Amino acid sequence: MTDLSGKVALVTGGSRGLGREMALAFAAAGADVAVVSRKLDACERTAAEIEALGVRALPLACHVGRWDGIEPVVEAVYARFGRVDILVNNAGMSPLYPSLDAVSEEAFDKVVGVNFKGPFRLTALVGKRMHEDAGGSVINISSIAAIEASPGALPYAGAKAALNALTLGFAAAYSPNVRVNSIIVGAFGTDIADH
pLDDT exceeds 60 at position 195: no
Decide if pLDDT at 115 tops 70.
yes
Tell me the Ramachandran region of residue 65: left when phi exceeds 0, alpha when psi lies from -120 to 50, beta otherwise: alpha
The DSSP secondary-structure symbol of 82 reads S
Please state the rounded mean pLDDT for residues 55-70: 96
pLDDT digits (tens, 9 = 90+) for 10-42: 999 999 999 999 999 999 999 999 999 999 999
pLDDT higher than threshold 60 for residue 194: no
Cα(80)–Cα(159) distance, integer angstroms: 31
Instruction: Give the pLDDT confidence score for residue 109 in this predicted structure.
Output: 96
Cβ–Cβ under 8 Å, residues 61 and 37: yes
One-letter identity of residue 67: W
DSSP-derived 3-state class of residue 31: coil
pLDDT at 189: 58
Banded pLDDT at 190 (limits 50, 70, 90): low
Confidence at 187, pLDDT banded by 50, 70, 90: low
Q: With 90 as the cut, is the pLDDT of residue 76 above it?
A: yes
Q: Report the sign of the C-alpha dihedral through residues 158, 71, 131, 20, in that order.
A: negative
> Structure pTM?
0.93
3-state secondary structure 45-56: HHHHHHHCCCCC
Angle at CA 157, nearest 5°, toward 156 and 158?
A: 90
Pairing of strands 136-143, 8-12: unpaired
pLDDT, averaged across the chain? 94
78 belongs to the catalytic site: no
Q: What percent of the chain has pLDDT over 90?
A: 88
Convert the pLDDT of each residue in 126-176 to its tens digit: 999 999 999 999 999 999 988 998 888 999 999 999 999 999 999 999 999
**8-190 CATH:** 3.40.50.720
For residue 185, the SS3 value is strand
| 1 pLDDT tier (thresholds 50, 70, 90) | low
CA–CA distance, 130 with 86 (Å, rounded to integer): 9
Q: Report, as an integer, the average pLDDT of 1-16.
A: 94
